[in-house]
């Protein structure tokens, strides 16, 4: 493969960058998996979150929409929070529960989740290129026996690359609209969206949406 040839020639910069990217991807995975996604832990925290969120959208969201008490956690949910049955917690700005990381994606870890997906996509694209560069095709049984592992690895990388790319693109689109996966999928069931005069009362324009999300 290309990386192997560069290593044999003593050109170690690209192999080293590739290894560092893989390591960074693994560390980001554990960070996003293990960190608090934004659990609502106390009623007074929920009130603080409510006042901050409402101050941004007070003109768009009807004033009669009140915080409701979660029937599972027994805490008052701030706006855009949702109870996760798998985590057994209410999560601020709940996006979805990701089986990939075995954790919720919410207010605190959503930006880092996007960074993780981006790094993972770079690693997969580079890994796919490395696997492809190591393949040479011959129509023989011996060739298939010697290259079956590399061929299967390449096909798996292609599948994972498509999945990660689609996931990253969908999340970037939702961020540009300042909405979440849960709000997008369940718009008709969420009171503060169903009774709002605007289709999305949180949308403040693409640039400001990205700025507020990442900064």
pLDDT higher than 70, residue 138: no
Catalytic residue, candidates 98, 104, 177, 215: 98
- Mean per-residue pLDDT for 144-149? 71
Q: Is residue 98 among the annotated active site residues?
A: yes
SS3 76: strand
- Mean per-residue pLDDT for 36-53? 64
pLDDT higher than 90, residue 25: yes
Q: How is the chain split into domains, by residue range?
A: 2-37+100-214
Residue 70 near residue 84 (C-beta atoms within 8 A): no
Nearest to 194 by CA among 186, 205, 206, 202: 186
Instruction: Tell whether pTM > 0.85.
Output: no
What is the distance between the terminal CA atoms of the chain, rounded to a whole angstrom?
40
pLDDT higher than 70, residue 144: no
133 beta partners: none
pLDDT of the residue at 169: 97
Provide, rounded to the nearest whole percent, the portion of the chain with pLDDT above 70: 76
**Calpha distance 66→158 (Å, rounded):** 47
Nearest to 112 by CA among 127, 123, 101, 124: 101
pLDDT of the residue at 55: 46
């Amino acid at each position: 493969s290309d990386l192997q040839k560069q290593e044999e020639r003593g050109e170690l910069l690209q192999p080293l960058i590739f290894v560092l990217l893989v390591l960074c991807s693994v560390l980001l995975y554990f960070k996003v998996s293990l960190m608090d996604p934004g659990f609502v832990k106390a009623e007074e925290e929920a009130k603080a979150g409510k006042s901050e969120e409402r101050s941004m959208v007070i003109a768009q969201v009807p004033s009669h929409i009140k915080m409701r008490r979660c029937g599972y956690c027994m805490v008052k949910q701030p706006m855009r929070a949702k109870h996760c049955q798998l985590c057994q917690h209410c999560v601020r700005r709940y996006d979805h529960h990701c089986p990939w990381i075995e954790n919720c994606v919410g207010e605190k870890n959503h930006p880092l989740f996007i960074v993780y997906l981006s790094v993972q996509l770079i690693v997969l694209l580079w890994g796919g290129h490395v696997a492809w560069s190591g393949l040479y095709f011959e129509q023989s049984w011996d060739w298939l026996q010697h290259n079956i592992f590399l061929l299967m690895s390449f096909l798996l990388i292609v599948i994972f690359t498509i999945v990660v790319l689609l996931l990253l693109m969908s999340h970037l689109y939702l961020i540009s609209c300042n909405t979440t996966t849960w709000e997008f999928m369940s718009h008709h069931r969420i009171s503060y969206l169903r009774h709002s005069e605007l289709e999305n009362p949180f949308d403040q324009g693409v640039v400001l949406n990205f700025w507020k999300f990442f900064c």
